[in-house]
A and B are shown apart, each in its own frame.
Chain A
Amino acid sequence: MEEEIDNRKINNSFLRDHNYATEADIISTVEFNSTGELLATGDKGGRVVVFQREQESKNQPHRRGEYNVYSTFQSHEPEFDYLKSLEIEEKINKIRWLPQQNAAYFLLSTNDKTVKLWKISERDKRPEGYNLKDEDGRIRDPSTITSLRVPVLRPMDLMVEATPRRVFSNGHTYHINSISVNSDYETYMSTDDLRINLWHLEITNRSFNIVDIKPANMEELTEVITAAEFHPHQCNTFVYSSSKGSIRLCDMRAAALCDNHSKFFEEPEDPSNRSFFSEIISSISDVKFSHSGRYLMTRDYLTVKVWDLNMESKPLETYQVHDYLRSKLCSLYENDCIFDKFECVWNGSDSVIMTGSYNNFFRMFDRNTKRDVTLEASRENSKPRAILKPRKVCVGGKRRKDEISVDSLDFSKKILHTTWHPSENIIAVAATNNLYIFQDKVN
């Protein structure tokens, strides 16, 4: 990867193409599984679509890497909480895959209130032969039954089934923003605005509250939890980020209730940059451990930061995602864009990070070479195997050819959700109702 991030991305497929996109089609989360063979998306309509990578075939070598729809199912339905007179949206907030345990695949999906565990499995045989009816379904005269038939299994066309295995409900009063599976393979946590709960994957009627920041008096509320994640290897460690721009690392070994953090990451505020919007734009919208477990990445409104777990005082690296918006904060506040929650991801080797922006732009930062690139996920360059051209936003006075002025950016086209294949340079980018998959040029 390294320097090639600039131009070797090619658009591979262009899925879920709806010109007449409805609200329900807007993709709300996207996630590769641990091998990268599968890719799941969730949308505002409560649906989950799973894509499977095409297997290598001799006659069409370039097809390796294409992702095709494997299974589609309705994960969540809209509900109504009659006690609180509240509508519960079906929108899928997060999807997390479980480590593979047998031939079937498992994922957790969540909306605002309920986490569900889904099993996606294949079936290629079906039983044949009845005693009481013949193959056409006609009932036989019981008196003609003189011998017993045991059904036999015969091959049939492959069928992929999605079945709900567990429903973890009633654990949250506020809106769930994150779920994260523990490296012990048996627990996961779900996080809402004020609390984090720990669940056993096999037990749905009990969860343990591990963080609770709800003040006794809600009027004293100054901070909410925005995201949380388990450490990739240490089963006892997790982090959560807050709307005040800080990250807390907790050790579950120390106590059952992790209200006291063991590490606190926060960058001191620069007084010269202080403005009305300082607090809003410092709110962290996503936090991710690196695959190695050594670093943390956080995304706030204008930057993405990399932290070393061993240094709490300031980030190791800070990357400007779209600094040119700093002068536009007022209008971004007025159209609510300033509250957009951008996510961020690592590549497989933790050397490159990716996060989204507006105008269907997304950004990549190479941590070694310090080079960065802006790419666009759009219909125009979405012909299969087209090569992506880097884009530039004009910041100075004079606009060069190929540059786009800040004023002409389309703020309704935002890239909030992206995911990176765990080992290869394949990325999936959700741009409202479209999913783009890009990969390194093959030969």
Chain B
Amino acid sequence: FPEMAGAEGEDSLYPIAVLIDELRNEDVQLRLNSIKKLSTIALALGVERTRTELIPFLTDTIYDEDEVLLALAEQLGNFTMLVGGPEYVHCLLPPLESLATVEETVVRDKAVESLRKISQEHSPVDLEVHFEPLVKRLASGDWFTSRTSACGLFSVCYPRVSNTVKAEIRQHFRTLCSDETPMVRRAAASKLGEFAKVLELDYVKSDIIPLFTALASDEQDSVRLLAVEACVSIATLLPQEDLETLVMSTLRQAAEDKSWRVRYMVADKFSELQKAVGPEITKNDLVPAFQNLLKDCEAEVRAAAANKVKEFCENLPEDSRETLIMSHVLPCVKELVSDTNQHVKSALASVIMGLSTILGKDNTVEHLLPLFLVQLKDECPEVRLNIISNLDCVNEVIGIRQLSQSLLPAIVELAEDAKWRVRLAIIEYMPLLAGQLGVEFFDEKLNSLCMAWLVDHVYAIREAATCNLMKLVEKFGAEWAQNTIVPKVLGMSNDPNYLHRMTTLFCIKALSEACGQEITTKHMLPVVLKMSNDQVANVRFNVAKCLQKIGPVIDSNALQAEVKPVLEKLATDQDMDVKYFAQEAISVLALA
């Protein structure tokens, strides 16, 4: 639009006009783009027109696609200055109110989030005059979408309103907790903890506790399980002496609920619950409850509990920790090691090593080591992998030597597993293991594995193996590299399989930096240059790519004298790709 330059004097309205028109374009992407630049539009219109024209228009546009509505809900949370500051912030309420009633949860949640944000920008008077009536409207709406949204707004206005209004808010919350639709009761249950936090302690006891008890025995298990979450916040608010009477019976009931989903939730929140109720109740109530969860008939529950074993033990009161673990937790853990469900075993394997730091060397050797070994031999690769990936915890306690003899066969087995994803995972732990085992042990037992991966038939494994070599060199140093791996890598350049020849190039690319100038120039470069005559074009253009990468490591004489002619030759290759990469390398290395 060359003419547009002329209209520059008016600060050109044209781009803004386009944005406004595109608010209703057929193409969602363009609408979305315009909504995301809503602040630009508002700025151009000025605060007055934004309030009187733009906001009313937006209020009525809730027919749109979710992603547009989501963007709109988000934008409106940051719109206060654009409508004239806190004095006028309440004019943002109508569009957000309609967005808070749409069926799409993400949009509603975002609208509620923005409402919560702008509630802080309301003066106490405006909060009562504008915001609180909106909350009431939503809370008594016909559809459950609006009532669920209301649940998230009580806690933000409660602290800033008069006592009369506070009483009304509490009443509304009570009503929603016994709403006829489970959707609303769920929303209320999930906000119960948050609401309790802003209430005066007396009201927590007189209002929240009965609601909590009722929700925790709701007929729908999807509601009951949310009460478990609320339990954490409520228990934190109450003085220790009230916990037993007000919370514990409900919590005990939840831990033994008929529905596994509720018990799962208890298991999942166990560490938080444990912290919230304190050491005494933990000793008397939670330890037996935890034992039961570890022995639950549903595997999902056992897995969730198994995940918490380490944290639970860590947080036990110090004076009785060891006794409790040895007499109560460990027997259950022993059973889980041979659980029928692999998710349970795998969850346990991911934390069990952590117990060694808590129990100390002697207990570890006597009680835990046998369990580790059982899990290391587990038929499920994930279990074995979880053990291996946490070896460092045990290393600190008993040293790796003690483990290595039993560990090694398991590693070798995983390294040769038929599933390439398992092989890939074990490769990723190699540098860690190498660090733990030391160079001698590594050379003796694991080096050959690392080299074998380089010729794996899956590319992802070869690639990971290359990267692994680099990390090993970083750990063990250039000298080690020159003696052990470089000769083997270079040897592969004569392999009849071109894929293996390419692996040589990939390795050189990865290793050059870690190996340093001398090894690269003296040993690696000649091989790369020789390979520029390879009959396979893929190898040749990888030579070019490789040279580009290692160029900066090589000394400048060799670069000019040896690399340059080879790249120039490749730049005239018959193959298009070879030419392309050769030219690229020439320009990157500034050899032209």
Residue ranges of A at the interface with B (Cβ–Cβ < 8 Å): 99-104, 106, 119, 121, 123, 125, 127, 130-133, 142-143, 145-153, 165, 183-186, 202, 233-236, 252-256
In the bound complex, how far is the Cα of B63 from the Cα of A102, in angstroms?
A: 13
Mark contacts of B253-281 with chain A using CB atoms, 8 A cut-off: 1 yes-contact digit, 0 otherwise. 00001111100000000000000000000
> Chain B residues with Cβ under 8 A from A145's Cβ?
13-14, 17
Q: Given contacts A102-B103, A127-B57, are A235 and B13 in contact (CB under 8 A)?
A: no
Digit string of B141-183 for contact with A (CB within 8 Å is 1, else 0)?
0011110000000000000000000000000000000000111
**Which range holds the interface residue count of chain B?**
35 or more
| Bound Cα distance from A337 to B1, whole angstroms | 71
Q: How far is the CA of A152 from the CA of B24 in the complex (A)?
A: 11
Contact partners of B63 in chain A: CB under 8 A: 121, 123
A184 near B44 with CB under 8 A, answer no
**B60 contacts A142, CB within 8 Å?**
no
The residue among A102, A130, A153 with the most chain B CB atoms within 10 A of its own CB is: A102
Q: Are A185 and B57 in contact (CB under 8 A)?
A: no
> B45 near A: Cβ within 8 Å?
yes
A323 CA to B107 CA, complexed, in Å: 56
Which of B20, B61, B181, B221 meets A148, CB within 8 Å? B20
Where chain A touches its partner, the secondary structure class is: loop
Query: Is B4 in the interface zone, CB < 8 Å from A?
Result: yes
> Which residue of chain B has the shortest Cβ distance to A185 in the bound complex?
B183
Q: Is B300 an interface residue (CB 8 A)?
A: yes
The one of A119, A132, A150, A253 that contacts B18, using a Cβ cutoff of 8 Å: A132
A145-B17, A256-B260, A256-B299 given; name 4 further pairs at CB < 8 Å. A101-B143, A101-B145, A186-B222, A253-B260
CA distance A353 to B221 in the complex (A): 32
Which residue of A has the minimal Cβ distance to B6? A143
Q: Is the CB of A148 within 8 A of B16?
A: yes
A387, B298: Cα distance in complex, Å: 58
Interface pair B20/A256, CB less than 8 Å apart: no
Q: How far is the CA of A142 from the CA of B261 in the complex (A)?
A: 62
Provide the bound-state CA to CA distance between A46 and B1, in Å: 48
Question: For B186, what are the chain A residues with a Cβ–Cβ distance below 8 Å?
Answer: 186
A143 lies within 8 A of B7 (CB) = yes
Which residue, of B3, B13, B14, B103, has the highest number of chain A Cβ atoms within 10 A?
A: B103
Determine whether the beta carbon of B222 is less than 8 Å from that of A253: no
Q: Is B260 in contact with A143, judged by CB distance below 8 angstroms? A: no
Q: Does B54 contact A (CB under 8 A)?
A: yes
Q: Is B561 an interface residue (CB 8 A)?
A: no
Which of chain A's residues have a CB closer than 8 A to the CB of B241? Answer: none
Cβ–Cβ < 8 Å partners of A100 in chain B: 143
Q: Collect the chain B residues with CB atoms within 8 Å of residue A99's CB.
A: 181
Closest to B143 in A: A102
User: Using Cβ atoms and an 8 Å threshold, which residues of chain B touch A254?
Assistant: 258, 260, 297-298
**Smallest CB–CB gap between A183 and chain B, Å?**
7
Closest 9 A/B residue pairs (Cβ):
A131-B17, A253-B259, A150-B53, A102-B143, A153-B60, A102-B145, A184-B222, A185-B183, A253-B258
CB distance from B57 to the nearest CB of A (A): 6
Do the beta carbons of A150 and B298 come within 8 Å of each other?
Answer: no
CB of B103 within 8 A of CB of A186, answer no
Chain B residues, Cβ within 8 Å of A233: 219
- Interface hits, B8-47 → A, CB 8 Å: 10, 13-14, 16-18, 20-21, 23-24, 44-45
Task: Please pick, from B6, B24, B144, B220, the residue contacting A184 in the complex, using a CB distance under 8 A.
Answer: B220
CA distance A146 to B7 in the complex (A): 10
Q: Which residues of A contact B260 (CB under 8 A)?
A: 253-256
- Complex CA distance for A132 and B45, rounded to whole angstroms: 16
Q: A103: which B residues are within 8 A, CB to CB?
A: 143
What's the nearest-Cβ distance from chain B to residue A388, in Å? Answer: 37
Listed A/B pairs (14) with beta-carbon separation below 8 Å: A101-B103, A102-B143, A103-B143, A133-B21, A142-B7, A148-B20, A149-B17, A153-B60, A185-B183, A186-B182, A202-B105, A234-B219, A236-B259, A252-B259
B221 touches A236 (CB 8 A): yes
Q: Is B102 an interface residue (CB 8 A)?
A: yes
Q: Which residue of chain B lies nearest to A126 when distances are taken between CB atoms in the complex? A: B24
Q: A101-B183, A142-B14, A235-B222 are in contact. Are A149 and B300 (CB under 8 A)?
A: no
Known: A131-B17, A256-B260. A186 touches B183 (CB 8 A): yes
Pairwise interchain contact A132-B17, C-beta atoms closer than 8 A: yes
What is the CB-to-nearest-CB distance from B463 to chain A, in angstroms, rounded to a whole number? 28
Q: Which residues of B contact A147 (CB under 8 A)?
A: 13
Q: Find chain A residues with CB under 8 A from B221 CB.
A: 235-236, 253
Q: Give the Cβ gap from A165 to chain B, nearest Cβ, in Å.
A: 8
Q: Does any Cβ of A come within 8 Å of B101's Cβ?
A: yes
Q: Are B298 and A256 in contact (CB under 8 A)?
A: yes
Contacts of A152 in B (CB 8 A): 53, 57
Complex Cα gap A153–B59 (Å): 10
B220 engages A235 (CB within 8 Å)? yes
Query: CA of A205 to CA of B143 in the docked complex: distance in angstroms?
Result: 28
A183 to B220, CA, bound (A): 9
Q: Which of B84-133 contact A (CB under 8 A)?
A: 101-103, 105
* Bound CA span A202–B108, Å: 13
Asked if B457 is at the interface of the complex by the 8 Å CB criterion, the answer is: no
Q: How far is it, in angstroms, between the C-alpha of A256 and the C-alpha of B181 when the chains are bound?
A: 24
Taking the complex as formed, is B49 at the interface, i.e. its CB lies under 8 A from any CB of chain A?
yes
Chain B residues with CB below 8 A from A125, complex form: 60
- The verdict on A151 contacting B13 (CB below 8 Å), with A142-B7, A184-B182, A235-B220 known, is no
- Chain B hits for A102, CB < 8 A: 101-103, 143, 145-146
Residue interface bits B517-550, CB-to-A below 8 A is 1, else 0 = 0000000000000000000000000000000000
Kindly identify which residue among A146, A165, A234, A256 contacts B13, using a CB–CB cutoff of 8 Å: A146
Report chain B residues within 8 Å CB of A148.
13, 16-17, 20, 44-45, 49
The smallest beta-carbon distance between B143 and chain A, in angstroms, is 4
Q: List B contacts of A106 (CB < 8 A).
A: 103
Give Cα distance in the complex from A151 to B60, angstroms: 11
| Chain A residues, Cβ within 8 Å of B60 | 125, 153
- For A121, what are the chain B residues with a Cβ–Cβ distance below 8 Å? 63
B300 smallest CB distance to A (angstroms)? 5
